[in-house]
Amino acid sequence: MTRTKSPFSFDFEIQKSKHAIERMSQRGITQAEIDTVLDLGTPNGEKIALNRKGAAQHLHETRAEIFQLSEKMDSGECSLAEAMHSMAALEKRAKVLKKIEKKGGITIVMCESTLITAYRYASPVQRRRFH
């Protein structure tokens, strides 16, 4: 198992099972996407999901924050160094959210602090079509 520290809101170390590492690689899911789902996703038992609509909403909010920050920079309300640091983080988050939205969302399965697997989000309607 490998250990990663989530840069967002978790105070514990996330461990990834070998299965999770393999599935993330096969499915093209990055660590940044996992961290974003952990931070912004909706928990449901052992699963945490961030669907396309949720990613789009968070992307819209992030872009609004970028715009507000650029307005503050233009008016001189915050220091350039502070603003550039915040702007870089917001732009990185926007990029990751756009990738999650394009994939249709991501669901992760956790058991305590271990990532078991990750896959593209499938709505209940999509799951019914294939059964």
* DSSP line for 31-96: HHHHHHHHHHPEEETTEEEEEHHHHHHHHHHHHHHHHHHHHHHHHTSS-HHHHHHHHHHHHHHHHH
Residue 8 confidence (pLDDT): 40
Residue 75 confidence (pLDDT): 86
Residue 84 confidence (pLDDT): 87
pLDDT tens figures, 46-105: 999 999 999 999 999 999 999 999 988 888 888 888 888 999 999 999 999 999 999 999
Residue 118 has pLDDT above 90, yes or no: yes
Residue 128 has pLDDT above 60, yes or no: no
Give Cα separations from 94 to 7, 100, 125, 126 (angstroms): 15, 10, 27, 26
Q: Under a CB-based contact definition with an 8 Å cutoff, are residues 83 and 69 in contact?
A: yes
Write the CB contacts of 66 (distance below 8 Å, at least 6 apart in sequence): 87, 90, 91, 94
Tell me the average pLDDT across 102-116: 95
Write the CB contacts of 97 (distance below 8 Å, at least 6 apart in sequence): 36, 55, 56, 58, 59, 62
Residue 47 confidence (pLDDT): 96
Residue 81 confidence (pLDDT): 84
Q: Higher-confidence residue: 121 or 10?
A: 121
Cβ neighbourhood burial of 30 (10 Å; 0-12, 13-18, 19+): middle
pLDDT tens figures, 28-46: 999 999 999 999 999 999 9
- Return the closest-CA partner of residue 106 out of 44, 26, 36: 36
Q: Which of the four pLDDT bands, split at 50, 70 and 90, describes residue 130?
A: low
The residues spanned by each domain of the chain are: 2-129
